[in-house]
Amino acid sequence: MKSIVVHAAKDLRIETHETPVQGTGQVLVKMAAGGICGSDLHYYNHGGFGAIRLREPMTLGHEVAGYIEALGDNVEGLTTGELVAVSPSRPCGACAYCQKGAHNHCLNMRFYGSAMPFPHIQGAFSEYVVADVAQCAPASGLSVGEAAMAEPLSVVLHAARHAGDLFGKRVLVTGCGPIGLLAVLVARQAGALDIIATDIADFTLGKARDAGADRTINVADEPNGLDQYAAVKGIFDVLFECSGVAHALASAVPALRPQATIVQLGLGGDMTLPMQAMTAKEIQLKGSFRFHEEFFTAVEMMRKGRLDVTPLITHKMPMQDAVKAFELASDRTQAVKVNLTF
């Protein structure tokens, strides 16, 4: 089978690997679609992000969906030919964090396409992937592209839990990549009163308006665009910081009201924070990392029509054009979510 493997920055190869065989309690999934994520782009463009660096070749990909090709022994509730969204989250279930229900902090996590541990955890951008039954969410009624969006949607649903009740709240979203746009969708679905989104690309800001943002600000053109919200100590109740850019966070703090909540999703390396201003305004800063149980919720929300993620899928490209697809996904002036087809 073919797999998409990164060896170093700008060194992406399509390699032939042995097709895996499902074991007891597992299924063999023939991949149909895989979304290129921001972390995939960090590995491709920079060889990693922050302190996390590639130390060996790694198959990329963790936003995937496909059709069940074969069933292992003792598999119930799934059938061959069925479309499933495959969760990349594979906690051990036995460590202290798993026992406390914090599966996303598992000490022995096997998250697809992650260079955090060594040896690295291989990803799912392959023609075939073996998955545990617990990873597979039935996705009938969805397109393969929608099913592959379950992973980034899960990231935002997990972040929204950290933010708390969004009904009637004023929400600021900084960074309108796929995660930021999904944050706009989720906040609108949760009853946010007012949603403002910022970015540096008009294309993604247009997508934010389509997703439900009441107003967008191109901070490249209007670097002081948030100043108008800083009067009376700010107005925003919640900030979803999705860019991972230190300046985006720092410039948003004056626009946040006292006792507001920042949920940090963007990963871009260490950031310098305006701690004095945050302290004086009693602002809560909450990190949000990955997800676990939200995955099946994300699939069901899409199947029930609660959230329409299809406008975020801007391109579909075959896996043999992986390099072109990664270059396109890196261009925020024309792409949001690029899906690879297998």
- pLDDT single digits (tens) 210-246: 999 999 999 999 999 999 999 999 999 999 999 999 9
Structure tokens at 6: 């990164």
Domains of the chain in sequence order:
2-149+309-341 (3.90.180.10), 154-287 (3.40.50.720)
Beta partners for residue 261, in sequence order: 238, 284
- pLDDT single digits (tens) 81-112: 999 999 999 999 999 999 999 999 999 999 99
Q: What angle do CA 60, 61, 65 make, to 5 degrees?
A: 150
Rg of the chain over Cα atoms, rounded to whole angstroms, equals 20
- pLDDT single digits (tens) 47-71: 998 889 999 999 999 999 999 999 9
* Confidence band of 167 (pLDDT split at 50, 70, 90): very high
- pLDDT single digits (tens) 68-88: 999 999 999 999 999 999 999
**Residues near 232 by beta carbon (within 8 Å), at least 6 away in sequence:** none
Distance of CA 99 to the CA centre of its chain: 25
pLDDT of residue 267: 83
Using CA atoms, how far apart are residues 228 and 224, in angstroms rounded to an integer? 8
As a three-state string, the secondary structure of the chain is CEEEEEEECCEEEEEECCCCCCCCCEEEEEEEEEECCHHHHHHHHHCEECCEECCCCEECCCEEEEEEEEECCCCCCCCCCCEEEECCCCCCCCCHHHHCCCHHHCCCCCCCCECCCCCCECCCCECEEEEEHHHEEECCCCCHHHHHCHHHHHHHHHHHHHHCCCCCCEEEEECCCHHHHHHHHHHHHCCCCEEEEEECCHHHHHHHHHHCCCEEEECCCCCCCCHHHCHHHCCEEEEEECCCCHHHHHHHHHHEEEEEEEEECCCCCCCCCCHHHHHHCCCEEEECCCCCCHHHHHHHHHHCCCCCCHHHEEEEEEHHHHHHHHHHHCCCCCCCEEEEEC
* Mean model confidence pLDDT for the chain: 96
Q: What angle do CA 174, 306, 194 make, to 5 degrees?
A: 35
pLDDT of residue 271: 83
- pLDDT single digits (tens) 1-15: 999 999 999 999 999
Structure tokens at 115: 């260079």
Supply the angle between the helices 150-163 and 178-189 in degrees, to the nearest 10: 60
Per-residue pLDDT at 256 exceeds 80: yes
